[in-house]
Structure 1
Amino acid sequence: MNSEKLYYQDQYITSFTANVLKSEIDDQGRYYVVLDQTAFYPTGGGQPHDLGMLNDINVYGVEEIEGEIRHFTEEPIEIDTMCTGEIEWERRFDHMQQHAGQHILSAAFVEEFDYKTASFHLGKEICSIDLDVANLSEGEATRVENLANDMILDNRPIETKWVTEEELSNYKLRKELSVSENIRLVIIPEFDYNGCGGTHPSTTGQVSAIKVLHWEKQKKKTRVYFVCGKRVMKQLSEKHQVIQGLTSLLSAPQENLEKAANQVLQQSKQYEKEITDLKMHLIKYEAKALLEQAQLINGQKMVQAVFQNRPVPELQHLAKVIVANTNDTVVLFVNENVQKLQMVCAKGSDLSLSMNQLVKQVLPIINGKGGGTDSIAQGGGDKLVSAEGLMEKLVKSI
């Protein structure tokens, strides 16, 4: 059931009337209608679908399925109804700017370095292309961005043309086509010739500007992130606000922000080292105090302690310091946090007990996991018993 595609006749149409040819519910329970003509662009070719209204009913999705352009609506619309459609123009024009900008940028990469575009993603905030090249330099990106913006300043026409497969030899296409019929070319004369089914402005000047933001390696390709049109100003505004905030926080002008931030990071690393050193000193005193409180239980000297929200590595270190200062003592630590119970068990070198076996014997009561060596072991699990109950089980298991 074919619909007349008004968005190909005039991409600037924002309102239209149409008759409902089909009104159904799909297998996902979504209402949809098929119209005799439509200005709603369906998802395709890397470009998201339009949004808008049909008879004041929200259209939240548009897809071309089995040859039909389906308009997904929040409420059903009866068949043979005459509809008035309204396109959300700001979204449509943004997509036109981004899509045309991608054509210009991709063509500029080919023009300057013969770097071909493998794929394109038009995101809600940022767009990206994947280049068939493993690395991209700062100089290359700047050179391409400058050429792309020169094309915009030239305000060249952006033309569309339907051609046959036989006529393709008359055009220097940027990449091979994926279709052999209903071929639509988007042309920027003497710069870019590309098969595309998307919507674009009528001139390059309406793209306004292109800004390459950053890029990253993607296997053997390079993913380039960029924005066009109004998104450039939005990015500039957001980044300026961040810079102003950092300028105030770091008490440094914009040109010295990187230096000031590095100084703060270096100072933070130094503080972290000093804090770690101080913790190690405190642990030595804590170990001494706990060892002095050791009790003889069933003939075995034990150090027992229940903690709240202590990092397990810290408790492991504390246990090691204790057993390093005594050969005949067992150390039993239980740690309780919001979500789980944890244990750390260690022993002096003269004892024949296995802490690994001890932990594994107790873990089932908290549905836990863990392990270690004969000298020290640890584990954790669900809070199915109290911390004191878990400690009691450890003591009884020795």
Structure 2
Amino acid sequence: MRELLYYQDVMMQQFTAQVVRKGKEDMRPYVVLSNTAFYPTGGGQPHDTGKISHFAVVDVEKVDDEIRHYIDGNIDALEDEVRGHIDWARRFDHMQQHCGQHILTAAFVELFDIPTVSFHLGTELVTIDIATAQITNEQLAQVEKRANEIILENRPIETKWISKEELSSYPLRKDVSVDEDIRLVIIPHYDYNGCGGTHPTSTGQVSSIKIMGTEKMKNNIRVSFVCGNRVLQQLAMRKSVLSDVARQLSVPEESAAEALRKVFNDTKATEKALEDAKNQLLEYEAKGLIAASREGVVGASFENRSVQALQKLGRAVVSQLDEGICLLVAENEDKIQFIAARGSQVNKSMKEISGAILPLINGKGGGNDAFVQGGGEKHLSAAELLEEMKKVL
């Protein structure tokens, strides 16, 4: 392990190696080299990409004792000696994020004795789950400040291979999971951690750390953050969004939050007023239907009216018609829907109506003796279905 090129020189971007073996796994061609600077997926860090000769390296995995480079192309065309080229932008980003995680995790332990239980390096955000049920904004600010102090001090980052017997000589942040090929990543007088990932040679290369948010994950807290160039990318994205919002609100950026809050409040007030107006119109519509009804039966058919609207109108009718029944039907695109409701002084079960008409439309419905609703296929028009409902009465 310790002889691998990405451990010998973490800053290596190109290398020459011999092809040891070619093969396929699940129809994916791969090549094994005599040595490699391509980092395989592991320890929460994604694999490197790049090129071997002129073939794109799309995945790198450690399988048993060999590192397989999965390539896009015909592996038979590879010569015995090849040249590897690392996608350095991707690799350095991963190094910044992984090292930033070490620094941030150590800050949580140093300041509040809160350990990290898991780590994920995503394409946009990095997350750690910390072993606590709650964390305050003040604590997060202190941790972020301490992490950035360590970065600004530009401390060296050392790596060291040790034996299991030597472990007790180092103040490790957590126990290591292997008994041999133990690799420590050390930020002197700050963090000592067993890790097989790639890291820059000094903390200053991480550039900066910014905590983006938190969320509760069972009994832990998930902390999202970014490091290095990703801080600038997130800043640029948020600046663009804020500028757009401020422009649409016609206010300076620093006033956008308050202006947006006012828009939300005004919208809620408008929506409430509109809902009140709709309810009043519904009451008037219900009175109109009652006035036009015969023998205590209110019946009406509609087009493009939701079953929710039918339910509201039906309830408005029977609330004003204790000894009456309301039958409403609506055609909506490729389906037909209905409601049947009774007044408080009516004994007839509305289930009799739904039970009789649902087979006519191959439909489904639900409800109780006082109120039913349902829908199905448009084998009948709304007016025809309404007549069938009246026949049951």
Say whether the fold is shared (TM-score over 0.5): yes
Counterpart of 1:61?
Answer: 59
Q: State whether residues 306 and 387 of structure 1, in contact with CA within 8 Å, keep that contact through their aligned partners in structure 2.
A: no
SS at match of 1:22: strand
Shift of the 3–384 alpha-carbon distance from structure 1 to 2, 3 Å rule, reads farther
CA distance in 1: counterparts of 2:66 and 2:386, whole angstroms? 68
Shift of the 34–353 alpha-carbon distance from structure 1 to 2, 3 Å rule, reads farther
SS at match of 2:56: strand
Counterpart of 1:271?
Answer: 270
Counterpart of 2:303?
Answer: 307
Structure 1 residues 350-365: aligned runs within 5 Å: 350-363=345-358
Q: Which deviates further from its counterpart, 82-91 or 156-165?
A: 82-91
1:40 is aligned to 2:38: yes
CA distance in 2: counterparts of 1:155 and 1:244, whole angstroms? 34
Counterpart of 1:105?
Answer: 104
Residue deviations 1:275-294 (CA, integer Å, cap 9, x gap): 01100111122223333444
CA distance in 2: counterparts of 1:326 and 1:149, whole angstroms? 72
**Cα root mean square deviation, aligned:** 2.5
Shift of the 368–62 alpha-carbon distance from structure 1 to 2, 3 Å rule, reads farther
Counterpart of 1:247?
Answer: 246
* Paired amino acid for 1:43: T
* Paired amino acid for 2:59: G
Q: State whether residues 3 and 37 of structure 1, in contact with CA within 8 Å, keep that contact through their aligned partners in structure 2.
A: no
- What residue ranges of structure 2 are gaps of 5+ in the alignment? none
Counterpart of 1:217?
Answer: 216
CA distance in 1: counterparts of 2:288 and 2:73, whole angstroms? 72
Q: State whether residues 361 and 380 of structure 2, in contact with CA within 8 Å, keep that contact through their aligned partners in structure 1.
A: no
CA distance in 1: counterparts of 2:23 and 2:315, whole angstroms? 71
Counterpart of 2:287?
Answer: 288
SS at match of 1:135: coil
Q: State whether residues 6 and 38 of structure 2, in contact with CA within 8 Å, keep that contact through their aligned partners in structure 1.
A: yes
CA distance in 1: counterparts of 2:30 and 2:268, whole angstroms? 58
CA distance in 2: counterparts of 1:12 and 1:187, whole angstroms? 17
Return the offset for 1:322. Answer: 1.6
SS at match of 2:175: coil
SS at match of 2:75: coil
Residue deviations 1:291-314 (CA, integer Å, cap 9, x gap): 344467xxx83503133143x333
Shift of the 356–37 alpha-carbon distance from structure 1 to 2, 3 Å rule, reads farther
* Paired amino acid for 2:349: S
Counterpart of 1:200?
Answer: 199
| Percent identity (aligned) | 47
Q: State whether residues 18 and 81 of structure 2, in contact with CA within 8 Å, keep that contact through their aligned partners in structure 1.
A: yes
Shift of the 266–86 alpha-carbon distance from structure 1 to 2, 3 Å rule, reads same
The 4+ residue runs of structure 1 with deviation greater than 6 A are: none
CA distance in 2: counterparts of 1:128 and 1:138, whole angstroms? 17
Return the offset for 1:270. Answer: 0.8
Counterpart of 2:374?
Answer: 379
* Paired amino acid for 1:34: V
Counterpart of 2:169?
Answer: 170
- What residue ranges of structure 1 are gaps of 5+ in the alignment? none
CA distance in 2: counterparts of 1:391 and 1:327, whole angstroms? 21
Shift of the 339–3 alpha-carbon distance from structure 1 to 2, 3 Å rule, reads farther
* Paired amino acid for 1:158: I
